[in-house]
Every structure is written in structure tokens, then in C-alpha cells.
């Protein structure tokens, strides 16, 4: 069974997710830790909980979701997993950081690619990869059918959606993917987004002003 912890990091207030099982194996998804104190917060939590990070993943590679990639990779000896269409976004991230006054050292290690329908395993548990571009060209979500939750990145928020005015964004594509790939999930599915509070698929189908079922 997967347990979920999250931390809100950086001036952009991004949600970093730590998923772990009863064996102490952990996935780090979208490490947005920007300040050294935030690195220490994540490290201290992992240490106190007795966890061993086994995989580093990004839902997408906008700057606020990749701030901590290099530090996580170095600290825990991990390599990065992303969708192949996000490689160009990862390369652009430091330039975007300078535009926002948030310079940082980018991850430059090996990349491993995840595609639609792939399965990320955490012990006996599984997360299915759902490709849902629009906010970013290779945005992916991680869906656990057994426990009814979705790590959604910046695709779907509580009564909102990811912005599409950034490079390579596509508003119609995002709406289409939310309708056809996320709204088909059970209503009780909990969505853990890249920003803000969690929500459910059922709530968004009824109340999201941007895209309703």
C-alpha cells in the first residue's frame, strides 16, 4: 500500500510528492525544493521515516517542478524519469528561471523515458502513466487504480486547470485530455495536483468552470 506525503516548496508554491510503501521504498515526484532549507526539510523527513528513495520522476519539466532534481539525484544516487517530449522543457528550465529571478543548477544526468501506458512500480504497487499534454508538451500523470489516486502535475487543479500560455502550451489539447483521459476515471479518484489542495474527479466534473463532464 502506498502512503503519500507532500511538501509545498519554492516561491512558486509547488507541491513535491513523496510516495512510499511499507518496506520504506520511496518515489520522489517533482522535487520543487529551491532553497537549501527546503532540501533539508525533505531530507529530514526521509531520514526520520526511514525511507529509501528508489526513483526520481517529473510529471513535466517546468522550472518549479525541477528545481530539486539535481540535488535529489546527487543525494540519493538517482536518475531522472520523464516523458520524451519534456526533454526540451528540461533544457529550457534554467532560462525560464532567470526570467523569474530564480536561477538554479539544472539536472544534467541520464534520462529515462516514460510513455503512455507504462507502469511505474513501487514494490508490489503500480502507477500507470497517463499522457495528458496541453499545459506542457509531455505532461504525464501517475494513476493508482487500487487506491484511487492520481498524481496529476499541473493538468487539473481544484476547480481550475493548468495554464496554457507558456511555450508549447495548447488550451484545446489540455481540455480534450482532461475530458478523455482524466474524467473517465472513477469519481472517487483523488487528484493530487502540482499546486494547491487535492480534489476528486467527481468534484471537478461537477464544479470545474473550465471543463465539465
Provide the residue ranges of all domains of the chain, joining segments of one domain with +. Answer: 3-207
State the CB neighbour count (10 A cutoff) for residue 24. Answer: 14
Determine the average pLDDT of the residues in 101-120: 97
| pLDDT for 122 | 98
| pLDDT for 106 | 97
> Per-residue confidence at 99, pLDDT binned at 50, 70, 90?
confident
CA distance 200 to 212: 13
> Per-residue confidence at 28, pLDDT binned at 50, 70, 90?
very high
Determine the average pLDDT of the residues in 148-169: 97
Instruction: Determine if the pTM surpasses 0.95.
Output: yes
Burial of residue 198 (number of CB atoms within 10 Å: 0-12, 13-18, 19+) = middle
Assign domain 3-207 to its CATH architecture: 4-Layer Sandwich (3.60)
39-58: per-residue pLDDT in tens?
Answer: 999 999 999 999 999 999 99
Amino acid at each position: 500500500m502506498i502512503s503519500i506525503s507532500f511538501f509545498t516548496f519554492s516561491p512558486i508554491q509547488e507541491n513535491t510528492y513523496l510516495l512510499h510503501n511499507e518496506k520504506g521504498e520511496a518515489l520522489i515526484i517533482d522535487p520543487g525544493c529551491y532553497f537549501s532549507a527546503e532540501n533539508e526539510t525533505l531530507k529530514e523527513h526521509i531520514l526520520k521515516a526511514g525511507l529509501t528513495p528508489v526513483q526520481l520522476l517529473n510529471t513535466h519539466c517546468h522550472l518549479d517542478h525541477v528545481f530539486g532534481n539535481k540535488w535529489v539525484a546527487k543525494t540519493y544516487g538517482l536518475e531522472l524519469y520523464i516523458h520524451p517530449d519534456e526533454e526540451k522543457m528540461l533544457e529550457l528550465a534554467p532560462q525560464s528561471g532567470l526570467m523569474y529571478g530564480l536561477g538554479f543548477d539544472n539536472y544534467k544526468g541520464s534520462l529515462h523515458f516514460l510513455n503512455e501506458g507504462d507502469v511505474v512500480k513501487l514494490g508490489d504497487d503500480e502507477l500507470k502513466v497517463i499522457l495528458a499534454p496541453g499545459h506542457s508538451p509531455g505532461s504525464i500523470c501517475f494513476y493508482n487504480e487500487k487506491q484511487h489516486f492520481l498524481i496529476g502535475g499541473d493538468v487539473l487543479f481544484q476547480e481550475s486547470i493548468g495554464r496554457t500560455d507558456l511555450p508549447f502550451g495548447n488550451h484545446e489539447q489540455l481540455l480534450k485530455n482532461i475530458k478523455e483521459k482524466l474524467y473517465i476515471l472513477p469519481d472517487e479518484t483523488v487528484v493530487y495536483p502540482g499546486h494547491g489542495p487535492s480534489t476528486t474527479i467527481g468534484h471537478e466534473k461537477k464544479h470545474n468552470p473550465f471543463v465539465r463532464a
